[in-house]
Structure 1
Amino acid sequence: MGAALTQRCPALLVAAPASGQGKTTVACALARLHARQGRRVRAFKCGPDFLDPFWLAQASGAPVHQLDLWMTGEDDCRARLHAAAREADLVIVEGVMGLFDGEPSAADLARRFDLPVLAVVDASAMAGTFGALAFGLQHYQPGLRWAGVLANRVASTRHAQLLQAGLRAPADWLGGLPREAGLTLPERHLGLTVATELDDAMARLDAAADALAPTPLGRMDAAALQGWAVDFAAPQPAPMAARPLAGRSIAIARDAAFCFVYAANLDCLRALGAELRFFSPLQDAALPACDALWLPGGYPELHAARLSANTGLRASLHAHARAGKPVWAECGGMMALFDTLVDGQGRAHALWGLLPGRVCMQPRLAALGPQQLALAAGLLRGHTFHYSTCETPLAPVARTARPGLAPAPDAGEALLQHGSIRASYFHAWFASSPAATASLFTWPN
């Protein structure tokens, strides 16, 4: 492929042998460090995660999109990476789970786009075995471009020396981060706490960048980064999109209670012609004037008392539904539509009363994984991830299914329909079927 069709830019996929090793901390520290040095950094998150991108966006100072060979598709990944390489000095992709976990995995993404792999390993309870683990990650599957390994939660200088000595190739050592509470990003039941909710988020990122700075990884300058340069191929020209939502306005809940919104989903709605009008269910007493409503996921269980007290918004929502205007509610958005929400402490809150029944928070994860939803207008891809369960007399009108499988009566997520409302625990990736997406906001006619 000719040079005119590629964009060359240093890039790195930050991976690990498992979740909880410190991938996000390292990816954010690296992004923050280079952004502070005046470089243009673009970061991505592998997989459907909503939360890590908040931190990556804070660290890089730029929007963060998801890359997933199944959910978003290879063409979308190629287009986003190529566009980022055109404007960036460094592209950072944070992996998901362990390097080889999932189908497709972070390793599959790295191979597809020739991304050098940096392995982050929690070395707090090991010494020589660190080298075996690094060797296995590098050689378990062929075709991976290897950048090296970084030890996390290192106890001392002596501990770092033992870890480094265990590596087969000394050049693989990219340093170690100390075992300090201040270098751990705060978490709660769905993952990391949203960065924008914390007053000290940037201070935490700066502390992580400062800790990374003296390591071999942190000392790499622009010239050294060229050793990880990738030629990102140009995408095929996208066909001109139809605009079935032209002239229609969509109200979108967006605040601390409803924050699980893919930036790409907003782009898709705009490309379909919609005018987007954002509002806060925590603060606003009424919906903005709109033709349709989207209630995305988030944390209604953490803000249930305030949502319950906002009687003005409740009345506005009921008026919208009585007028027969479409409502699409995902996960947390669906939870708030029920009569009652029981939070993690067992307290019952009267919510919006637009769906009969109640939702109850559970101590363990109720569902997780990729899902697809077949609608009359097309097949939407997405995922599910929730700690609550719902009890309702409504019978599902459809169910989601895992990739490649047909829906089953006792599997997947229920699609509930009540008047002009459609709701599910399913989080949709709108660009996977623009026609199906448009139908969510034009139904019923």
Structure 2
Amino acid sequence: MKPAANRSFRPCPLRPVVRGGAALVAVLCLGATLADGVAERSVALAFGALVACGELARRPAAGVREPAPLGAAGALSYALLGDVAGQPTHHGVAQTVTAVLAGTLLGSVPHVARGDGITLDHLARRVLTVAFAAVCFQPLFNRGAFDGWGGPAYVPLLLALLTLTALCDAVLTAASAHARTGWPFGRLLREEVRGMAGITSAVCATGAVMALAVAVAGLWALPVFSVPLLLAQLSFRRYAAVRATYRQTIASLARATEIAGYTPAGHARRVAALAVAVGRDLGLAGPDLTVLEYAALMHDIGQLSLVDPVPAGATAALPAAEQRRIALLGGAVVRRTGVDPAVAVVVERQADPWREQPLAARIVRAVNAYEEKARDAGPGGSWTALEELRLAPAGDYAPEVVESLARVVRRQRPGRRNGRGPRRRARGLSDPAGAG
């Protein structure tokens, strides 16, 4: 069984709609630009080059909401541009989308040559977000609704527009994540909205400030305001590299029990992947999800202190007192490694009665027991293990975690008869996928 893979969810209907809508918008804008000609060519070239530079600096990474913040800020600033050095512009919505699209594609050429080119979801999101901002801003500005860039209505209207643009970006990002993972769209959207306080708000603020600066000082403001964002992107890249190294170190520590023969190969990785999936289903995000992943990777590290290994590393079958002793030993080891103390707390409390545990410890306890039971049961083990967790004594496993685990397993396993649970046979439960 591979908990990390989610291959049985239904295809997301939003994905073809988003991609098709972005393609239609791009074609219409390109045609309109070719028919009407390019207005203020130097301005269009400057912003197109800025977007291209942002894409050249793009470094895709897992968990990064905006891999090209400079490109996104430059695209948004062009959509919100009304004046250049005090002179009104006339580029309109179609030219805005065309310039941003051209810059995005041009900046992606080196990435495509290396085999890690731009994804269709990223391109569709960029086109639709910029089109939305331009459609909301350009007609209103040209009709005088903003009373010029220095008018009293400019700031509140611009803030409202930035908020709507950020929400549009969150919806598109959640739709893309739903298509990739199959997780409920509502939960993904809430996570994206919570994350708007980070890189999304920085991109929106930088784009708006760039547009205002160009309106006053001209195109010279673009490189001035690009440098801080590039430096911030460089710092974030270094932070991401350090964090990746940190996670690899934790994963290596977790494999110590496998190398020593205390636990089966891949057990910690499987528990961590499934625990993260359950955590997302229950609404965990950000640092809480990271703590859960690290604790799940290191949940068995206390077994290194045992003289006699537990058969197959199956701690769920041990007496409660022995489980708590191993958990406390594991917490002590985690504290000595310098890992976040919150991880050690989860490892220490994974064997406590579930009502006394934090949510992360409840998840690790239930997922570890499920993985061990499903592995030992052989074919049909997934549903048998879930049933055993449901029928366990009241203090063993949190009911909401077990039900969340069942939902995750159903999403990862095809062949169920309905959405309520696995099919039953005369002699018990059978795994529809035919694998444990």
Tell me the TM-score range normalised by the shorter chain.
under 0.3
Give the helix-richer structure, 1 or 2: 2
Task: Tell me the TM-score normalised to structure 2 length.
Answer: 0.23
Computing the radius of gyration from Cα coordinates, the structure with the larger value is 2
Task: Tell me the TM-score normalised to structure 1 length.
Answer: 0.22
